[in-house]
């Protein structure tokens, strides 16, 4: 790319059919957008993950994390997530996919040196079935991994994102710590809404919580229960409800049921800037319904993955007027973990927000 005077601006991938016309890879005129550049970026990303997830930290072993975070690791359009010795590749956009074979020609060496035995290209659009194609190694559709020492099951073929929501890893650990701190000699009651494969539910159950997991997808509950058994938590001691979360909350409020912890981690309510006003209204409605079933003295954990709803906008959906009660205060706010790095001038990369109120 050059400006109107012919001065070099940068090199990138042009995609005329995308809202992002050009994904800029470099502003150095000496750089070539080729396999060697991709390999250098990947090797730097791996070096950072070696420090974040040291292999000798057995007691807190984490084997599932983001290895390459697109724009955040200066590889726009390309994401690689690690699940044990399997890596899942996600390519964003037809233009990026059109040059993938060229750019990925030298990734096998660095990945194998980092203990990756298979790189699986997962393709498919939202609402469609995913296809898994090995770029090297053997195809696998389901794996067992650990997160801070806690094992769980990942369905690589059917799971959301690349198989699991790795961006919530540190927040799942925090949920376990919050529930564990609840004293009184009585098992705290925990409601996990949009529970999906039960990551928050499992961490709460392992520290003594009595968990109700609600999700519209029955298959997700089956994976959650598989993870419960793998981690040594009896799923029969907990409740799994297949239902629309809004309808569930209405029914729970009508019968006067409450929980000590309410966790809400819905899908994006604002997939575009145009949808932002409706998205904010949806968050306010959901949070009001959550607050109505939160017991006095309880803890409310609310998350958003909508990049178009900024931190302050999201916080506004948690004020007294939105919640319909005035006994809660905002204790902490969290964003993406360090294996999901962002660039300072790319606020969209800091999409994840998790608020703790009590």
The verdict on 175 and 306 lying in the same domain is yes
Gap between the Cα atoms of 179 and 261, Å rounded: 8
The verdict on 194 and 268 lying in the same domain is yes
Q: What 3-state DSSP class applies to 222? A: helix
Position 58 confidence tier, pLDDT thresholds 50, 70, 90: low
Tell me the CATH number at 76: 3.30.750.80
DSSP state of 157: T
Residue 159 lies in a domain: no
Domain that holds residue 115: 11-21+31-141
Gap between the Cα atoms of 46 and 104, Å rounded: 15
The verdict on 135 and 182 lying in the same domain is no
Tens-place pLDDT, residues 290-303: 999 999 999 999 99
Residue 239 lies in a domain: yes
Tens-place pLDDT, residues 7-38: 877 788 888 877 777 888 887 887 889 999 99
Average pLDDT across the chain, whole number: 93
Gap between the Cα atoms of 123 and 45, Å rounded: 22
The verdict on 58 and 178 lying in the same domain is no
Q: What percent of the chain has pLDDT over 90?
A: 78
Tell me the CATH number at 195: 3.40.50.150
Count of structural domains within the chain: 2
**DSSP per-residue letters across 278-336:** HHHHHHHHHHHHHHHTEEEEEEEEEEE--TTS-HHHHHHTTSHHHHT-SS--EEEEE--
In the numeric block, which tokens belong to residue 8?
């070099």
> Nearest-CA neighbor of 124 among 165, 157, 76?
157
Residue 156 lies in a domain: no
Residue 26 lies in a domain: no
The verdict on 109 and 170 lying in the same domain is no
Average pLDDT estimate for 196-208:
97
Task: Report whether 1 contacts 11 (CB < 8 A).
Answer: yes
pLDDT at 1 (0 to 100): 64
> Nearest-CA neighbor of 65 among 124, 73, 303?
73
Residue 158 lies in a domain: no
In terms of Cβ atoms closer than 10 Å to its own Cβ (0-12, 13-18, 19+), residue 172 is: buried
The verdict on 185 and 88 lying in the same domain is no
């Amino acid at each position: 790319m050059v400006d109107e005077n012919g001065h070099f601006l940068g090199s990138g991938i042009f995609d005329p059919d995308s809202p992002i016309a050009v994904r800029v890879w470099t502003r150095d005129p000496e750089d070539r957008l080729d396999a060697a550049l991709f390999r250098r970026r990947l090797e730097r990303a791996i070096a950072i993950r070696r420090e974040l997830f040291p292999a000798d930290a057995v007691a807190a072993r984490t084997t599932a994390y983001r290895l390459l975070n697109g724009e955040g690791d200066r590889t726009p359009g390309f994401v690689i997530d690690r699940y044990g010795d399997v890596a899942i590749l996600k390519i964003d956009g037809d233009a990026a996919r059109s040059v993938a074979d060229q750019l990925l020609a030298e990734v096998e060496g660095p990945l194998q040196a980092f203990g990756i035995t298979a790189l699986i290209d997962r393709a498919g659009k939202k609402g469609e079935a995913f296809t898994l194609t090995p770029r090297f190694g053997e195809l696998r559709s389901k794996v067992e991994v650990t997160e801070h020492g806690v094992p769980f099951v990942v369905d690589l073929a059917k799971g959301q994102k690349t198989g699991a929501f790795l961006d919530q890893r540190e927040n799942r650990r925090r949920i376990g710590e919050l529930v564990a701190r609840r004293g009184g000699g009585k098992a705290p009651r925990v409601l996990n809404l949009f529970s999906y494969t039960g990551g928050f539910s499992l961490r709460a159950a392992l520290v003594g919580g009595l968990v109700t997991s609600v999700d519209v997808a029955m298959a997700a509950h089956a994976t959650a229960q598989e993870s419960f058994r793998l981690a040594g938590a009896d799923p029969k001691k907990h409740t799994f409800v297949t239902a629309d979360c809004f309808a569930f909350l209405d029914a729970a409020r009508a019968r006067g049921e409450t929980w000590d912890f309410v966790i809400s981690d819905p899908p994006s309510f604002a997939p575009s800037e145009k949808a932002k006003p409706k998205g904010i209204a949806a968050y306010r409605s959901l949070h009001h319904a959550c607050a109505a079933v939160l017991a006095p003295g309880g803890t409310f954990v609310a998350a958003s993955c909508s990049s178009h709803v900024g931190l302050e906008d999201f916080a506004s959906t948690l004020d007294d007027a939105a919640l319909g009660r005035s006994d809660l205060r905002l204790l902490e706010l969290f964003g993406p973990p360090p294996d999901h790095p962002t660039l300072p001038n790319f606020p969209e990369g800091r999409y994840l927000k998790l608020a703790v109120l009590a």
